[in-house]
Amino acid sequence: MIGVDVGSQSVKAVVADDRGRPLATASSPCAMHHPTGGWAEQDPRDWTQALIGAVREARTRAGLGRDDVTMVGLACQVDGLVALDAQLQAVRPAIIWLDRRATEQSEAFAEAVGEPEIVGRTGLNPDASHVAPKAMWLREVEPSNYAATRWLASAGAYMNGWLTGEVAHDHAHASSTLLYDLGKRAWSEELIAHAGLDPARMPAIHPAGTVLGTLRAEVADALGLSRHCRVITGTGDDHAGALGAGALEPGVIVDVTGTAEPVAVPSREAVVDEQRLIESHAHAVDEMLLIENPGFVSGGSTQWWAATQGIPQAELFGLAALAPPGSDGALFLPTLSGSTAPRWNSRMRGCFAGLALSHDAAHMARAVLEGCAYALRDIVDRFAALELAGEEIRVVGGGARSALWLQIKADVTGRAVRAVLSECATSTGAAMLAGVADGAFRDLGEAASASVELAPDPVLPRPLHADTYAEAYASYRRLFDGVEGSLG
C-alpha cells in the first residue's frame, strides 16, 4: 500500500507492506502563494506533480515493481476550495485552509442562518476558513469562474478526481464545509441554499475506506504504478494524523504539528462548545467524531521566522535552545493569518511583544515556539474542561522531532507529551485505511497495532519551570486581549 499526505508545504508518501511495516518514504515540496494579506493559494497542479515525484521515489526506494502496489490512499489538507470545470481542470488557483478572504461572506452566512443553528447542525463555527464562505466569495467576486465551475471540490475531491475520474471525498472533508449535516451525515440542501450555491456542484461523499476505482491509465503511467492499482476515498490530513497516532477511541489527544497545528480528540458524540473554541468533525473512523480545533499557524510560523532570519527552518530550534524558558519576557502571537485560539478571529494578526535591548535572535526564536505552545494549552485546557482529555498528548509531524519543542509543550501544558515516531504519521494513517480496504487488516484497530509507533517514554513537565510558564502564559493571554481589542 502507499499512503500519501497532501499538505501545504509538501506531499509525503510512505510505502507499507501487508503487515503495516514502512518500507520507504519520500517527499516532494509544494509552494504557497499569498497575493495579498490574509490570502493563501496553491496551484493544484503542484500537488499532482509533487505526488508523482513522491510516489515514484518511495516505490523505487522500497525496491518494488509497479505491479507490487495494489492500493493507494490519500490524506489531504481540508478547508480548501478547488473550483473544477467539467474536464476536471482547476479554473483558478485553490483557495486553501489558511486563506481568510471570505470574512464578509462568513458573516453574511451566519446572519442568514443564525450561529446557534449553524453550530448545532454542522458542529462548526461560522468562519472564513471553511469552504462555504470561500465558495460564496467565488460566486460574488469571480462570477465567470463560478459559472465555469462544475465541482466545488476539496483538495481531496480534486486529487481523487485526478487519480480515478470520480470527484469524491469522505465525511471528514465534507464535515468541514459548513454545508454538511453532522447528524444526518449528508449534505444539507437548506444550508447550501442559504449560501446561494448549487447542490449539483457538491462532490459525492463516501466513507474514507471506500474503493473509488482504479488509476486512470495516464495517471498510473505518470506515477509508475499498475493501471489495476485501486484508490480509496481517503480522508483529511488531521484525521489521518489521528489514525497514525492511534487515536481511534475517546480521550487520546493528538497534536498535529505541521504548517498549522490542529489539536484533536476522538469522541462518540458531538460537542457544542459554548466558548466556540473547538468544533465537531466527522472522523475517518466510521461513526466516530473528531473534536478539534483546526489549528493555528505553527510550523508556518517557524518557517516564516526562519526565512526572515535567512536560516533554514531546522536551525531555528538550535537557536531557540540558547534562550531560557520564558524567553526573558519576549512573547509571540502565532496569529499570522487569523486566530483560532484562545478565540476565533479572522482579523487577528501576529506580533512580538515584551522586547528589550537584551533580547536577541535566540529569544525571539524560542518565543515563537512558546507562543505556539501557549495556543496548544488554550485548546487542551478546553478539552479538559469538557471532560474530553486523557492524560497524554501525542505529537505528530515535524514538531515531534524536536526534543526542545516537546519539552516546551510539556512544561506549558503541564501534561505528558509523547512523540509519534512514524516519520510520516499522516501518510501512515492513509496507508492504514488502504490496508483495511485491501484486506491486509481486519479493521483499523489491527492496522494501528501493526503500524503506529510511539516513543517508549513520554516527555514530562518540569516542576522547576511551572511558575515561569504560568506567568508567561498569563502575559500571553493579556497580549492577545490587547491586540484583539486594538482591532476595533
Say if strands 279-282 and 186-187 run parallel, antiparallel, or are unpaired. unpaired
Its pTM stands at 0.92
Q: CB neighbours of 80 closer than 8 A, spacing ≥ 6?
A: 42, 94, 95, 96, 97, 131, 154, 155
* 326 touches 408 (CB < 8 A): no
Please give the pLDDT value at position 259: 86
Chain centroid offset of residue 3 CA: 16
Side-chain-side CA neighbours of residue 266 (13 Å): 20
- The answer to whether 442 touches 9, Cβ cutoff 8 Å, is no
Q: How many C-beta atoms surround the C-beta of residue 350 within 10 A?
A: 20
Cell of 372: 505556539
- Least Cα distance to 380 among 254, 242, 474, 248 occurs for 254
pLDDT score of 121: 97
The predicted pLDDT at position 217 comes to 98
Q: Which domains does the chain have, with CATH numbers?
A: 2-238 (3.30.420.40), 246-419+458-486 (3.30.420.40)
CB of 274 closer than 8 Å to CB of 282: no
Q: pLDDT for 164-217, tens place per residue?
A: 999 999 999 999 999 999 999 999 999 999 999 999 999 999 999 999 999 999
Q: What is the enclosing helix (H) or strand (E) of 153?
A: strand 151-153
Contact 11, 5 (CB under 8 A): yes
pLDDT of residue 346: 84
Closest alpha carbon to 284 in 364, 175, 419? 175
CA distances to 82, 180, 354, 375 from 189, in Å = 20, 9, 50, 35
Which residues of the chain fall below pLDDT 50?
none
Determine the pLDDT at residue 88: 97
d(CA 306, CA 303): 5
Q: Report which residue type is found at 278.
A: I
Between CA 166 and CA 212 the distance in angstroms is 7
What 8-state DSSP symbol labels residue 424?
T
Q: Nearest 5 degrees, angle CA 336-CA 177-CA 245?
A: 70
How far is the C-alpha of 271 from the C-alpha of 388, rounded, in Å? 10
| Amino acid letter for position 429 | G
Long-range contacts of 469-475 (CB under 8 A, 24+ apart): 469/325, 469/326, 469/370, 469/411, 469/412, 471/326, 472/326, 472/327, 472/329, 472/331, 472/370, 472/374, 473/374, 473/377, 473/412, 475/329, 475/331, 475/354
Q: Contact 1/16 with Cβ under 8 angstroms?
A: yes
Closest CA to 417 of 438, 387, 396: 396
pLDDT of residue 188: 98
Output the pLDDT for position 488.
67
SS3 category, 482: helix
